[in-house]
């Protein structure tokens, strides 16, 4: 009975509540490190970011000058293609590492926000293909998609940083 009270007190202590849950269990970390999809994600993410930067420049130029609308539109479609590729391979990665396609506990909120990113990029592609809205309105929609992408990329970068910080004690040399 006294041990139960001590255990309950430890669970409700501020230190216990503030201790973050590890991002990966040892088994999940092993699967992550052995998965080819970890490398695929590591390659696709920076390429997608470079495509985003080029496309962002083209979109802003078109909105500012009215020139190059076709090239800007094509660049947004290419960016959307990279987004879909990284989302599909990311879902495969989550399945291998966590046993479910999407919304695994450690990446739940990133995946939720990714759905908004996908929806906005998909809405742009649909508007372009179906001729919905003016080219200017379509490019403004692309900017909204890009803003959501930047937020989502930030979420994943913070998660990557957290994973590295959590791994640091495991790889630190004994004193």
Tell me the pLDDT tens digit for each residue of 34-54.
999 999 999 999 999 999 999
Is 122 domain-assigned?
Answer: yes
Whether residue 27 lies inside any domain: the answer is no
Provide the whole-model pTM.
0.78
Minimal CA–CA distance to 95: which of 84, 111, 109, 81?
A: 111
> Is the Cα torsion angle 143, 84, 150, 119 positive or negative in sign?
positive
Among 92, 83, 66, which Cα is nearest to 146's? 83
User: 107-114: long-range contacts at Cβ-Cβ below 8 A with a sequence spacing of 24 or more?
Assistant: 107/159, 109/155, 110/152, 110/155, 110/156, 110/159, 113/148, 113/151, 113/152, 113/155, 114/87, 114/90, 114/152
Give the pLDDT of residue 81: 97
Using one digit for the tens of pLDDT, what is the confidence trace for 84-109?
A: 999 999 999 999 999 999 999 888 98
68 touches 58 (CB < 8 A):
yes
Residue 7's pLDDT is what?
53
Establish if 47 belongs to a structural domain.
yes
pLDDT of residue 38: 92
Whether residue 117 lies inside any domain: the answer is yes
Q: Is residue 7 part of a domain?
A: no
Instruction: Tell me the C-alpha distance between 34 and 91, whole Å.
Output: 16
The total number of structural domains in the chain stands at 1
- Confidence (pLDDT) at 17: 54
- First-to-last C-alpha distance (Å) of the chain: 39
What per-residue confidence (pLDDT) applies to 107? 85
pLDDT at 46: 95
CA proximity to 113, closest of 81, 141, 78, 153: 153
Q: Is residue 131 part of a domain?
A: yes
Q: Is residue 146 part of a domain?
A: yes
| Separation CA 61–CA 59 (nearest Å) | 5
Query: What pLDDT is recorded for position 168?
Result: 62
Domain of 92?
37-161
Residues of the chain under the 70 pLDDT cut = 1-20, 167-175
Q: How far apart are CA 52 and CA 137, in angstroms?
A: 19
Q: Is residue 8 part of a domain?
A: no
Query: Alpha-carbon distance 7 to 164, whole Å?
Result: 30
E strands, the chain, are none
């Amino acid at each position: 009975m006294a041990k139960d009270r001590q255990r309950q007190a430890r669970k409700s202590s501020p230190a216990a509540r503030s201790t973050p849950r590890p991002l990966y269990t040892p088994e999940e970390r092993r699967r992550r490190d052995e998965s080819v999809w970890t490398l695929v994600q590591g390659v696709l993410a920076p390429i997608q970011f470079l495509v985003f930067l080029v496309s962002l420049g083209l979109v802003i130029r078109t909105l500012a000058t009215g020139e190059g609308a076709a090239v800007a539109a094509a660049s947004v479609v290419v960016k959307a293609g990279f987004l879909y590729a990284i989302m599909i391979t990311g879902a495969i990665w989550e399945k291998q590492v966590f046993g479910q396609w999407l919304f695994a506990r450690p990446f739940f909120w990133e995946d939720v926000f990714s759905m908004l990113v996908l929806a906005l990029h998909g809405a742009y592609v649909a508007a372009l293909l179906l001729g919905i809205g003016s080219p200017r309105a379509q490019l403004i929609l692309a900017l909204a998609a890009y803003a959501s992408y930047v937020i989502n990329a930030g979420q994943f970068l913070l998660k990557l940083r957290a994973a590295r910080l959590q791994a640091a004690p495991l790889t630190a040399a004994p004193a």
